[in-house]
Amino acid sequence: MQVSLNWLKKYVDLDGYTPDELASLITKAGIEVDGVAYFAEKSTGVVVGSIESCEQHPNADKLKLCQVDVGDETLQIVCGAPNVAAGQKVAVAKPGAVLPGNFKIKKTKLRGEESQGMICSLDELGVKEAYLPKDAADGIHVFSDQVEVGADVTDYLNLDDAILEFDLTPNRADALSMIGVAYEVAAILGRDVRLPEESVETIAEKATDHVTIKVEAREDNPYYGAFVIKDIKVGPAPQWMQNHLMAAGIRPINNVVDITNFVLLEYGQPLHAFDFDKFGSDQVVVRRATDQEKIVTLDDVERTLTTDHLVITNGTVPTAIAGVMGGADSEVSDETTTVLLETAYFDPKRVRIGSKDHQLRSESSSRFEKGVDPNRVRKAGQRAARLLAEYANGTVLSGISEFDELDRSEKQITVTVERINNRLGTEIEASEIAVIFEKLRFQFVQDGDTFHITVPTRRQDISIFEDILEEVARIYGYDHLPYTLPEGSQQAGQLTKNQQLKRYVKQYMEGAGLMEAITYSLTTDDRAKLLISPEVEAVSKSAVRLSRPMTEEHSTLRQSLLPEMLHTLSYNVARKEQNLGYYEIGNIFIGKEEVVKTQPKEKLRLSGAITGKWLTHEWQQEAKSVDFYLAKGILDELFTRLKVTPTYKQIEMKQMHPGRTAQIFIDDVAIGFIGQVHPLVEKDFDLKETYVFDLDLDHLFAIHDDEPSFTKIPRYPSIKRDVALIVDESVTAADLEATIIEAGGEWLQNVHVFDVYQGEHLEESKKSLALSLLYFNPERTLKDEEVEASYEVILEKVKAEHDAVLRA
């Protein structure tokens, strides 16, 4: 809503406030003013002139020589505008005038003829492009009204107007009208509201004799009123009305259309003027359209209707889509002499459907959609009839032909001073509250500390105590509310165990050298099926897809964080960042049904990806490429810190390197995987060797043991024994370790591979694993013989189970 202050002044006194001060006060009271705009840039010395004569310039084809009466003198002015003519009243910048851009007007000679000033267009007078009528560029401005020759044009042309741009919240439909804005500003400033004149002189002839109203869709249209105005002369609307419309961003057309638009803005009540002679009957029938029914609307588009749409008809064919747009057949034209003026209340929902289906959002439909004031419907029609009589030569027939089942009742709300103060945390006196209601022009009956309020129907947004509370608070001023802290139950806040663990894991990952990424949850259909962890794949019935994605790029919810993470790597590699390590903690979405019906399962995952070199090449160290064991090392330490023991089992997974991927288990529960991305997938993402991991954090958190405990620091020394075993290359480290742990006896605490060798001095297909065995007895110092005995058993066992021999 664009609010012209020159217009608003007609209803409420704005003296003493600058536009910026008003904007600030209105914003603080609840309607955000986005900005203050000015109708025109500043000019001085421009007056009304009357063109006495207009002749061809002797030396130039395109110029005219005009004698212009400017009141105290007659000036000769050379003018090049195509529309200049004798008898016109125009805006004249006299010598000494200053036009926008500090353009000083002086006497001059043009092609040998003296020119004592300049006849101006609105554009030259600095009217901003946003407000200029379309044809304003065609030439000088010509006054259509009675204007006083010699008078300053500022007032006539609204050049000093300031316009407030309201950013209205959906509840404040009342401020979609100048009267509504006037009530708001009057409440804020504590001033009176002057309502417009609605009384109209009518002739004896009755509207009801000319037109009858029949509403078939009564719920869609509880009120329909029609005025009949004859003897209309279509022409330009008065300048002041055109000015107001332009300032509001509406292009003036002709007096009839301008008057309906003016009243729409003034009252917030959309009106429609039909050319009654072209209407086609003497009855208005309001009904739902039939399927496939057609209407050509004012914009010359043929529209196909359905039974969802409400139409105004002449009993036979539609003449308007109710509240949305009129039909072309009955459009007001220069020849129109009799107008059927419609003022109605249409059901917001019906109008919304109509405007949405036909993609016609207009000043009218947007007001009907929010619900117009039921007590202003008839008044607005009357106001328009009055203006038609005054400015379009209209003769108004008496009465309104109408259908009326409209509920105009006002809501009653009772509030107490105590309850208001309790909720606001204030100590406002009853008398002060009474003043606030008076400012808002809410009728009320005060009974001590109790107020019985009658809410005016213009404020459709107010229906309960809390709405009244807001009115009191905002007029009292949010600024004046005190600052307090809650007095209720005081409890300490704390992160939950899982939230703490999540932060712990994040910090660990960062300490381990990875940076946190946040990627999109919505990915492509294809990516939603990539790199899904086996235990997720096993339970997923579907990838969850949006019913109407905006783009294929973000159409389906992820089932793994990894595809978007590979995309992240790819994005960075394309920007010459080759060495990368990222992790992300986020939800994946697992469809519970093949065709999604219920909320998908959301699981918290921890994923990571590394590519390129890990250590940068520096003078003191060689850069090293990332590998499986770097990724695994990061996880191993994480598991140690989370106090769980993982098992890694070789696995073949789609999209992963068949020989370099392991599924991870904790106590036989599958919790994720780790490995190298399949080179073909790497290629798809333009990546070199890349290692990834993906873990079920929900599970890791669920099994986390947070019992506080203490293990004694050993008093006795442990004994370390190293052994190098030659085995077939198919024997895994885990197999060997398992056998050793099993055979090692009570005091064997730990087995750890510290070297792997394959090559010279070894048979092909054999490898040597060097293991370190750690023995420890918390009770006493172990004897060498005890360790020796265990060692012998181990050697026997690994020989028997893995054909392992001691390396010489």
Partner 1 sequence: MKEKLTALQNEALEQVEQAQSLADVEKVRVAYLGKKGPITEVLRGMGKLAPEERPVIGELANKVRAAIADAIETEKRILEEAALNEQLKTETIDVTLPGRPVQVGGPHLLTQLIEEIEDLFIGMGFEVREGPEVETDYYNFEALNIPKDHPARDMQDSFYITEELLLRTHTSPVQARTMGEYQGSKPVKMICPGKVYRRDSDDATHSHQFTQVEGLYVDKNVRMSDLKGVLNQFAKQFFGPEREIRLRPSFFPFTEPSVEMDISCKVCKGKGCSVCKQTGWIEILGGGMVHPKVLEMAGYDPEVYSGFAFGMGPDRIAILKYGVDDIRHFYTNDRRFLEQYHEA
The answer to whether the beta carbons of residues 536 and 603 sit under 8 Å apart is yes
* Whole-number Å distance between alpha carbons of 416 and 430: 9
Which one of residues 103, 571, 629, 716 is an interface residue with partner 1 (CB under 8 A)? 571
Query: Should residue 499 be labelled a site residue for partner 1 when binding is judged by CB under 8 A?
Result: yes
3-state secondary structure 206-270: EHHHCCEEEECCCCCCCEEEEEEEECCCCCCCCHHHHHHHHHCCCCCCCHHHHHHHHHHHHHCCC
Calpha distance 650→333 (Å, rounded): 84
Among 260, 355, 382, 568, binds partner 1 (CB under 8 A): 568
User: Which residue number, 337 or 625, has a Cβ lying nearer to partner 1?
Assistant: 625
| Least distance between partner 1 and beta carbon 445 (Å) | 23
- Name residue 473's amino acid: A
Among 575, 712, 761, 780, binds partner 1 (CB under 8 A): 575
Q: Which is nearer to partner 1, 123 or 689 (CB)?
A: 689
Q: Containing H/E element for 697?
A: helix 697-702
Give the count of residues interacting with partner 1 (CB under 8 A): 95
Number of helices and strands in the chain (H, E): 21, 42
State which residue, 123 or 449, has the beta carbon closest to partner 1.
449
Q: How far is the CB of 601 from partner 1 (least distance, A)?
A: 10
Q: Does 685 bind partner 1 (CB under 8 A)?
A: no
- Measured CA to CA in angstroms, residue 47 lies from 42, 72, 117, 545 at distances of 14, 11, 11, 67
Q: Which is nearer to partner 1, 61 or 618 (CB)?
A: 618
C-alpha 348: how far from its chain's center?
23
Please list every residue from 23 through 62 that binds partner 1, using CB under 8 A: 27-30, 32, 35
Report the site for partner 1 in 336-365 (rule: CB under 8 A): 348-349, 352
Q: How far is CA 255 from CA 179, 362, 388, 433, 538, in A?
A: 21, 20, 8, 45, 73
Residue 416 C-beta: closest distance to partner 1, Å: 13
Q: Considering beta carbons, is residue 599 or 730 the nearer one to partner 1?
A: 599
Q: Which of residues 294-333 bind partner 1 (CB under 8 A)?
A: none
In the complex, the smallest distance separating the C-beta of residue 694 from partner 1, rounded to whole angstroms, is 17
Considering only residues 152 to 171 of the shown chain, the ones binding partner 1 according to CB under 8 A are 169-171
CA distance 162 to 7: 10
Per-residue binding letters, 427-466, with partner 1 (x by CB under 8 A): -------------------------------------xxx
Say if strands 89-99 and 74-79 run parallel, antiparallel, or are unpaired: unpaired
76 forms part of the interface with partner 1 (CB under 8 A): no
The stretch near partner 1 (CB under 8 A) out of 381-389, 486-494, 672-680, 721-729 is: 486-494
Q: Which of residues 607-626 bind partner 1 (CB under 8 A)?
A: 614-616, 618-621
Give the Å distances, CA to CA, from 311 to 263, 273, 288, 306, 401.
22, 15, 6, 10, 18
Q: How is residue 426 written in tokens?
A: 């204030």
Give the residue, chosen from 90, 522, 638, 743, that forms a contact with partner 1 under the rule CB under 8 A: 522
Residue 30 or 139 with smaller CB distance to partner 1: 30
Largest Cα separation within the chain, whole Å, is 132
Q: Which of 212, 416, 572, 732 binds partner 1 (CB under 8 A)?
A: 572
Q: Reduced to 3 states, what is the DSSP secondary structure of residue 576?
A: coil
Q: Which of 580, 656, 670, 719 binds partner 1 (CB under 8 A)?
A: 580
Binding residue (CB under 8 A) for partner 1 from 96, 190, 513, 658: 513
Choose which of 55, 103, 520, 755 interacts with partner 1 (CB under 8 A).
520
Using CA atoms, how far apart are residues 163 and 23, in angstroms rounded to an integer? Answer: 10
Considering only residues 78, 557, 681, 725, which one is a binding residue for partner 1 as defined by CB under 8 A?
Answer: 557
Q: For residue 514, state whether it binds partner 1 (rule: CB under 8 A).
A: yes
State how far Cα 445 lies from the chain centre: 42
Give residues 387-426 in contact with partner 1 (rule: CB under 8 A).
422-426
CB-CB neighbours of 698 under 10 Å: 15
| 521 in Cβ contact with 682 (< 8 Å) | no
How many C-beta atoms surround the C-beta of residue 129 within 10 A? 8
State yes or no: residue 594 binds partner 1 (CB under 8 A).
no
